Structure formats: C-alpha cells, structure tokens
Chain A
Amino acid sequence: MSDKITDQPQALSDLRILDLSRWVAGEYATKLFADFGANVVKVEKPGEGSFTRHWGPFPEDVPNLETSALFLHLNTNKHSIELDLKNSDDVEVLLDLVETADAVVESFRPGHLEELGLGPEVLHERNPRLVITRISAFGQNGPYRDREATGLVMQAAGGPMNATGAADRSPLRKPGLLEHYTIGRTAGEATIAGIFAARSGAGSVIDVSGQEVLLSGADRRASYLLSASYSGMIAPRGVRSPHRHGATFTGPFRTSDGFVMIYVTNQVFWDRLIDIVGAGDPEFHQRFYGRQTVSGKDRDDFMAHIADWCLESSKIDLMERCEAARIPVTAFLEVSELLQHEHFRGRGAFTEVEHPIAGTMTYTGAPWRMRNGHAVHRAAPLLGQHGKQLRQQVLTRKSTQRAGQS
C-alpha cells in the first residue's frame, strides 16, 4: 500500500484521536478528523476488529474483515492497533496512547468503559486535558440509559419518523445508515468543540445521546417539537410539509424512466409550474393559474393532471425543462448514475483510493472544501496494521521519559 506522501499541512495535523468505537457513528466522527489531517488510531478487538468490518457489503458477498465496504469507507487515513482491553499489558498500551491523545471517542454501552477500569477518572488521571466523547443511544444517564437500540429504534425515538410515510400505513424510517452518520457527525463536532475548550487546560466528558442528536436535528424534528410546545400541533403522517400552506405541493412523481422530486413551495413557483404544464392546455392554465388554495376535487384533478404530465417525459428532461423555467424539480439519481455524473465528477467530488486487498475504487470525497482541507493519503487500515509500530513508539517514548527523569 503506498501512502500518498505530501508536505502540505492539513488543518488538524497536530491532533491525535483515539477511536475506541466499533460502529458507524464513532467511526464517522473520527473519520472527519482523519480526513482533515489528524492522527487517528483505531483500537480494535484482536482477531475480530470493528463491527463495521463484519457488515459489508463485500465483493461477491464473500465476508472478509478487510473488504467490508462500510469499514473501507469509514476508516480512511486511520491507523489500527489490536488491543485486548481485558489484558493488563494491552490496557497499559492504551493508557500510554491516551497520554498523548487530544480526544478519545467511544461508543460502548453506558458503563462498559467503567467496567473495564477505564472510566473517565482513570483516563483523566493519565491526561487531564483529554476530551472523552461517549456516544450511546439514550445517553449516559436517565431511566432509558440501558435500553437496547438499533438505528430503527433510534429513528423511532428521535427522528421525524412519526410524520414520515403514508397516512394509513406504518411510519417509515430513513434508508441506509443515515441516522448513525448524523449522530457521528455531531459527535465529531462535539469532540472538536471539546478540544477548543481544552485550550484552557481542562479536559471534558461529552455525552452524545443518539436520541437527543436526532431530536434537536434540522430534519424538522426540532421545529415540530417547538410547534407542539407552542400550539399542540402534531405533524401528521402522509401530509407533505405540514408547515406549509396555500397553493403548494411537493413530493415524488413518476416519469417515463424514473422519478422526480417536485418542490413547489410558494406562489411564484406555483405560477411558473402552471405556465409550463398548461402551455398547451388553456383550460388547465386558466383553472389553476394564480390560485392560492387548491383543495378537494380541485386538488385531486390537479394532482392527477400533474402525475400524467410527468409520465410524458424522462426524469432528466423534466428536470432540465423545469430548471430552465426556475422551478425546483430534480431527478432521482441511482448510485450508478451519481458516480458517472458530469457535475459531481467535474467538481472532483470523488477520490480514488488504493487498498492492498480491495483494490482501487472511487470513494466519496471532501464533504467540504477549505485551505489545508480534506485529503485521503491512505486506505482504511488492515486489522492491526500499525500495532507493532505504535507499540514501539510507546516504548520509545516511555524510555525517553525515564531517561529524562533519571
């Protein structure tokens, strides 16, 4: 594996982060640091490694600790050391690593770190400035602290799920592992905030409850909660954009070859849409142009007409015509289309990464761009790849310290 060597400093080059997490949120939190230059060490269970190594997807669906797509994506630029946290020699190595770290990120069940004898007091004794970020489903205290959770259960507890889906059907979660990424990004933000606070010399313990991250989120939940507090309003399921009113309509529509998302949120967009849909249909145009409210049979007729109109075009053609008329309508792209898309490719939104076993693939690139910003120097580490080197560094530092003391 060739590390891309560069003299270019990165914004977070002088930070050291220890990643004790084993799942998406913690690993995404530390990926933000690693991809912006920090030295991130993943502490992995010997022989087994992170849960994300077991998740896949794998090439040809054949499980392999080194080729899980989820692990490869989340652990670019990181180092890996295998440590058995129930073995006292390994624990001593961990504590030595803690001494030079700015932050530790963990996502064990609440209380597990304490059971291992590695609670915050122990870590702070070795490094008083350490930021300790603790990620859990429901937080480090409270009656539901020890509840079991998955992404689905957290979306139910914290996300806008109650209002997502159809009115007469079950609430619907968001796809993929999005909630874990959201929690992880926020845990990363909390961690770097802790590092800023530590400039005064004081370390910290940060409690990231997945539920609370989702509840305070910008995916409508916080605004729904405040509306409920203000007026008792409960956002209904199956009513698109319950905050909105008047002549607006939004949502996915079927085209001849896929779907588009139509987002008509105000009178200006509405009238532009009526102009374009009603261009050859004066009756439709006259009936709906300038309308401020559309309900009942009017609305049913209107929606049926729009649905038919969408079916007449391809998704890209419809998007481009609507954009030309300045109406927010976008095509649903598949991942395969995304990877080929001239806009994203042209902007350099992807990055090639070479891995000794998984080979060279195109990964998603910089989440944002800034001076001394995102760079992938190294693929995700093999399990324990940097163990020998890191143990040697610890020994060298210890003997230098002893020499200094004698």
Chain B
Amino acid sequence: MTYPLQDVRVVDLTVVWSGPGATALLGDLGAEVIRLEGNNRTSRQVSAKTTKEVIASTGYHGGTYPDKDPGERPYDRTALFNWHSRNKLAACANLETPEGFAAALALLEVSDVLVENNSNGTLEKLGLGHEKLLELNPRLVIVRMPPMGMAGPMSDYLGYGPNFNSLVGIASMDGYEGEEPDSAGENYHMDEAAPAGVAFAVMAALWDRERTGLGGLIEFPQAEAVMAEIGEFVLDYQMNGRNPEVLGNTDPHMLQDVFLSADTDRWLAISVRHDSDWVAAAALIDPEGLANIGDTAALRAENSATIRAVFAGWCRGRSVKHAVQALQEVGVPAGEVMSESRLLEDPHLAARGWFRERSHPSVGTYRYPGQPWRAEGFDLAFGRPLPGFGEDNEYVYRELLGYTDDQYADLVRRRLITDHQLA
C-alpha cells in the first residue's frame, strides 16, 4: 500500500463536527490518527448513561443509533461520531490529570501533527498551548480552529456553524426566492468547508517542513475560511454597491428551480443553462405553451415565473424517475433531490462502490458513507469503521510510548485508563 501520508502521526483532540471531519480526511490519506479521549467526559457527544428509556423520555427518535438502540456502549454506536471515525485510533487519557497530561506530552513528542477545535484557551488551561508544544517538538504542525480566530474582539464568541455563516454574510442570502432570509432554516456550510481546508493546510505545512525542518502553528479561523466562498459578492459590492439578494433555488444566469413530481414528496431540480438547453427542454415539455417566451436568456428571465409554472405542471404529471430520464436524454441538466434511502439504493453509487460495508463488535455490520474522492496510483485507507472507546490503549501506551507492564497496570487499576467511557 502507498499512502500519501504514510508515517505521519496525528494527535486528534477534536470535538463535535468540523475538527473530526478534518482528521478523518488525514486518516484517509494513511496518517495514523490517534484520538485522546477522557473517560470522564462525553468526548463523542454521548453519555455512557444513555438508554432507550432516556431517549424515549426526551421525545427523541434515537435514529442516530443502530436500530435506534444505544445499547451497552452508546458512545461507540452514534452516527454523530461514526460518520467521521474511519481509520482512527482511540486511547483513553484524562488530560486534566497529571497522568493524562504526561501521556499527551509523550505522544505529542513523537507525533507530526496536532489538530484541535476547542474554544480559545482550552489547550492553554491544560498546559498544552502551542508555544509550549513547539518547544517540546519543533517539527510539530499544530492546527487550531477557533471559528472567529485566535484574536480579535469577537474571537471568543460562542456559536455553531449556522451562527458563523450568519456573521460572514452567507445566511443573509439564504432563503426562498424573494423572501426574507429567515425562510431558509439552517445551513451548516462552515462545517462543510473546514475539513478539506484543514487537510490541505496540514499538507502545505508538512511540505514546508521538508524544506525548513520546522512545524508550526496553523490558525484556521473557520469563518474566514468560508468567507472565501463569497468572494465574488465581496467584489460585487465594491463594483456596484449592492448586497446579494435572496434567490432561493433560482440563479441570475440560468432558468432553474426545484419541482414536485407525481411521486409523494419527491422533487427534481432542473436547470436551463443556455439556448440549446431551452430548445431541448421546450420541445420536450410543451412546444406550444413555451413558444416564443424563452428563446433568449433575456426572455427566460422576463418570463421566468410563467415558464416555471409550465415546467411545474409537466413534472407534477410524471414520476421523478421518468422526468429526470426524459430531460437527461435530451441533454438538459436535471436530477432528483435525493433522500437518504434513495441514495442507499442508487445504482450509480452502487456501480462506483461508494458505500462501504464495515463491521465493528460494538455496532455490528452496516454500510458506511464512502470517501470524497478516489485515486489510481496510490491508496486511500478505509479500515476499521470506528475505534471503540479505549480500543487502542495498549498500542498507544505500551507500544508507542513504551509504558512498562507495571506503569500501565497501575493506570488501569486507578481507572485512569479504561476501555469504556465513565461519563
């Protein structure tokens, strides 16, 4: 096997969503990603005390667990963790205890990368600030991901992905066509944006290290990373003094929308990019009704509502499958708005082998979402779907860090190392 990040070791102190998404990508590339997890906290967002009864009492559906059952080891069984946990290793360490702190330092000394996305100051409180770590291991690449950065008047603001989308201008343009932006609900684009950016940044820093011999800090302010995705609107404001409009499913350059088919709650997206799409779509959908109202981009913009009403009527009269097929056959971009169950049975993804069936003793055998891309010429790792809590304690403490039998047994006896979560 040839992995791009063969022999790169990553210490993973990430939580919740975007940070773990980033380390998943490094693991795909063959890096050894080791999560250090405290047994006295809910590192995986799930309490060891979660039961079916607790779930029922809160009214939650429990659908993130296999068969809606948190089971004996709920923290090993949640989709909130397991969507990003492929290839990762997990070792138990309570960083606020002297023993856990010592293990973390020892591991960071023999590692190449640290990724963390805790609140500003969390690592410093633990005595693991980046300046100190770089003294210990100058080759270490340290990624810190505070959404608003490590400094600045709003750097300590609380929030989740949708909060920071709102601060960088994305939420203001998100909503149904011509309505206020509060019609959109939520979008988590900042979370979407960070993982590949962090993985790129880590590789850029490792590339730089080849030349300089030095690691260093990567400050990854997630809000600023996602701000790059509206760069054209930032320039438009300076060119024309206008802020983005709320366009819903429409587009300023194309005629497009999302339409209901004859199937219950199954919708399809259709775009007419240019005149040749128009000729094909009009001939298929309603040559008479669409005559002379959309032959040019200007006409399509002017008569957009009328044209879309005709499209809507046509879609409403056929199954989503037939509608998409008919449009694609004449070269018009169209596709179903895919639900999870439709994707799990999708023939295209099946032919490409995208979902991967994997087993784990805590979970059983299920299909897992695949990787974002594939390569010929080198390998990507997709081994164990998740590390059970503490599953790699022995490897990390004894093999990597060289703890003696007595040292290890002592930590186990004092419940500082466990193979299950206590909290």
Max count, chain B CB within 10 A of own CB: residue among A74, A144, A202, A225:
A225
Q: Which residues of A contact B292 (CB under 8 A)?
A: none
Q: Which residues of B contact A187 (CB under 8 A)?
A: 373
Say what secondary structure dominates the interface of chain A.
mixed
In the docked arrangement, what's the CA distance between A164 and B199, Å?
27
Which A135-168 residues have C-beta < 8 A from chain B?
138-139, 141-144, 147-158, 160-162, 164-166
Query: Quick check: is A314 within 8 A (CB to CB) of the other chain?
Result: no
Let me know if B158 and A371 touch, CB within 8 A. no
Query: Quick check: is B264 within 8 A (CB to CB) of the other chain?
Result: no
Let me know if A150 and B273 touch, CB within 8 A. yes
Given contacts A57-B236, A226-B368, contact A148 B79 (CB under 8 A): no
Given contacts A223-B80, A335-B234, A365-B224, contact A228 B203 (CB under 8 A): no
| B148 in complex: contacting residue of A193, A220, A343, CB < 8 Å | A343
In the docked arrangement, what's the CA distance between A67 and B239, Å?
10
| B341 in complex: contacting residue of A72, A232, A362, CB < 8 Å | A232
Query: Quick check: is A326 within 8 A (CB to CB) of the other chain?
Result: yes
Q: Which residues of B contact A235 (CB under 8 A)?
A: 340
Specify the chain A residue showing the minimal Cβ separation from B266: A162
Let me know if B63 and A368 touch, CB within 8 A. no
In the docked arrangement, what's the CA distance between A390 and B148, Å?
41
Name the distance in Å between A39's Cβ and chain B's nearest Cβ.
Answer: 14
Query: Quick check: is B284 within 8 A (CB to CB) of the other chain?
Result: no
| B163 in complex: contacting residue of A238, A295, A328, CB < 8 Å | A328
Interface 1/0s, chain A 177-195, versus B by CB < 8 A? 1100110011111101111
Let me know if B25 and A189 touch, CB within 8 A. yes
Given contacts A175-B170, A254-B182, A367-B197, contact A227 B375 (CB under 8 A): no
The size bracket of the interface on A is: 35 or more
Specify the chain A residue showing the minimal Cβ separation from B85: A226
Q: Which residues of B contact A344 (CB under 8 A)?
A: 152, 224, 227
Let me know if B335 and A147 touch, CB within 8 A. yes
Let me know if B352 and A234 touch, CB within 8 A. no
Let me know if B246 and A333 touch, CB within 8 A. no
Q: Which residues of A contact B367 (CB under 8 A)?
A: 229
Let me know if A263 and B163 touch, CB within 8 A. yes
Q: Which residues of A contact B268 (CB under 8 A)?
A: 156
Query: Quick check: is A399 within 8 A (CB to CB) of the other chain?
Result: no
| B235 in complex: contacting residue of A221, A363, A371, CB < 8 Å | A363
In the docked arrangement, what's the CA distance between A151 and B412, Å?
53
Which A77-123 residues have C-beta < 8 A from chain B?
none
Which B332-383 residues have C-beta < 8 A from chain A?
332-341, 343-344, 347-349, 351-352, 354-355, 366-378
Name the distance in Å between B247's Cβ and chain A's nearest Cβ.
Answer: 7
Given contacts A343-B152, A370-B201, contact A174 B187 (CB under 8 A): yes
In the docked arrangement, what's the CA distance between A233 and B240, Å?
46
Q: Which residues of B contact A157 (CB under 8 A)?
A: 335-336, 338
Given contacts A70-B232, A204-B377, contact A156 B337 (CB under 8 A): yes
Q: Which of A40-48, A239-247, A281-289, A381-389 contacts B (4 or more CB under 8 A)?
A: A239-247
Max count, chain A CB within 10 A of own CB: residue among B66, B211, B248, B335:
B335
Let me know if B58 and A246 touch, CB within 8 A. yes
| A226 in complex: contacting residue of B221, B256, B267, B369, CB < 8 Å | B369
Q: Which residues of B contact A400 (CB under 8 A)?
A: none
Name the distance in Å between B138's Cβ and chain A's nearest Cβ.
Answer: 12
Query: Quick check: is B200 within 8 A (CB to CB) of the other chain?
Result: yes
Which B146-183 residues have C-beta < 8 A from chain A?
148-149, 151-155, 157-176, 180-183
Q: Which residues of A contact B183 (CB under 8 A)?
A: 166, 172
Let me know if B61 and A153 touch, CB within 8 A. no
In the docked arrangement, what's the CA distance between A73 and B236, Å?
10
In the docked arrangement, what's the CA distance between A165 and B62, Å?
23
Given contacts A60-B240, A153-B269, A213-B373, contact A225 B29 (CB under 8 A): no
Which A362-400 residues have C-beta < 8 A from chain B?
362-373
Query: Quick check: is A250 within 8 A (CB to CB) of the other chain?
Result: yes
Let me know if A155 and B269 touch, CB within 8 A. yes
Q: Which residues of B contact A365 (CB under 8 A)?
A: 224
Max count, chain A CB within 10 A of own CB: residue among B149, B206, B207, B377:
B377
Interface 1/0s, chain B 61-95, versus A by CB < 8 A? 11111111000000000011011100000000000
| B378 in complex: contacting residue of A177, A194, A215, CB < 8 Å | A194
In the docked arrangement, what's the CA distance between A164 and B338, Å?
12
Specify the chain A residue showing the minimal Cβ separation from B338: A157
Q: Which residues of A contact B407 (CB under 8 A)?
A: none
Let me know if A332 and B231 touch, CB within 8 A. no
Q: Which residues of A contact B107 (CB under 8 A)?
A: none
Given contacts A142-B348, A189-B200, A263-B163, contact A335 B243 (CB under 8 A): yes
Given contacts A153-B333, A156-B258, contact A363 B240 (CB under 8 A): no
Interface 1/0s, chain A 327-344, versus B by CB < 8 A? 111111111111100111
Q: A153-B333, A261-B162 are in contact. List 7 more A-B contacts (CB 8 A).
A: A74-B231, A189-B197, A192-B207, A195-B207, A197-B2, A333-B166, A371-B212
A–B complex contacts, Cβ < 8 Å, 19 sampled: A139-B352, A142-B349, A150-B273, A156-B338, A162-B267, A170-B259, A172-B249, A175-B244, A176-B173, A176-B233, A178-B229, A187-B373, A245-B58, A251-B185, A252-B185, A259-B171, A332-B181, A347-B224, A368-B221
